[in-house]
Amino acid sequence: MPTDCATEPPPISWQALHAERGHLLRYARRRLLDPALAEDVVHDVFEAVLDGRARFGGRAPARSWLVGVLRHKIVDLIRSRSGTESLDAWTDQDSAAELVCPCGRPDERFEQRERLARVLARVEQLPTALRRVMELRILHDRDSDEVCRDLDISPANLHVRLHRARRQLQAEAAA
């Protein structure tokens, strides 16, 4: 008996939807990492299917189609929570002033560089024993055990030297 291509597949029943709920929830939880959001998104999928906003075409298994609808719902959720806003939507100049560069203004960056240069110059003026521990442990970010081995000192001595170096740098900065 030939099938008529123009016939529409039957809508998905509530029982078929409910049978796929566990699979859809696991999928959403893996993607969203939030069980409550996953429940909400799966509920939105069920609502869209039952309201007829999402129509099953019968070209794929129902589970695959439902996962596709779920994927779109997840993307919509992420987009809505991303907080991105079009600059075209802003009309007044005051709103544009709210934009802030995460790396700071040029004058702030200049001040940070100047401050860093002053600190590095003060580190250079420390006594040799204190300067070496600051250079190796703090500036070069080497492991404490490695610094102790290189300088042939105990871990307690390393901590004492670091403390003294920091205290001396703070005293110089306050003066």
Confidence (pLDDT) at 110: 87
Distance, C-alpha 86 to centroid of its chain:
21
Confidence (pLDDT) at 65: 81
How far, in Å, CA of 165 to CA of 161, rounded? Answer: 6
Domain positions in the chain are: 14-81, 118-174
Exposed/middle/buried for residue 161 (C-beta within 10 Å: 0-12, 13-18, 19+): buried
How far, in Å, CA of 51 to CA of 49, rounded? Answer: 6
DSSP state of 33: S
Q: Is the pLDDT of residue 99 over 60?
A: no
Model confidence at 88, in pLDDT bands (50, 70, 90)? low
Q: Give me 59's structure tokens.
A: 């070209």
Contact 151, 134 (CB under 8 A): no
Q: Is the pLDDT of residue 14 over 80?
A: no
**What CATH number is given for 118-174 in this structure?**
1.10.10.10
The share of the chain scoring above pLDDT 70, in percent, equals 78
Q: Give me 86's structure tokens.
A: 């079009």
Task: Please enumerate in sequence order all residues whose Cβ is within 8 A of that of 84, keeping only pairs 6 or more positions apart, or say none.
Answer: none
Q: Give me 145's structure tokens.
A: 């055990």
| CATH fold label, 14-81 | Rna Polymerase Sigma Factor; Chain: A (1.10.1740)
pLDDT tens, 35-66? 888 999 999 888 888 777 666 666 778 788 88
Contact 24, 42 (CB under 8 A): yes
Confidence (pLDDT) at 138: 85
Closest to 54 (Cα-Cα) out of 73, 36, 39: 73
Q: Is the pLDDT of residue 128 over 70?
A: yes
**Identical fold, 14-81 and 118-174:** no
Mean pLDDT of 82-96: 55
Higher pLDDT, 7 or 82: 82
Q: Is the pLDDT of residue 31 over 90?
A: no
The answer to whether the pTM exceeds 0.75 is: no
Model confidence at 25, in pLDDT bands (50, 70, 90)? very high
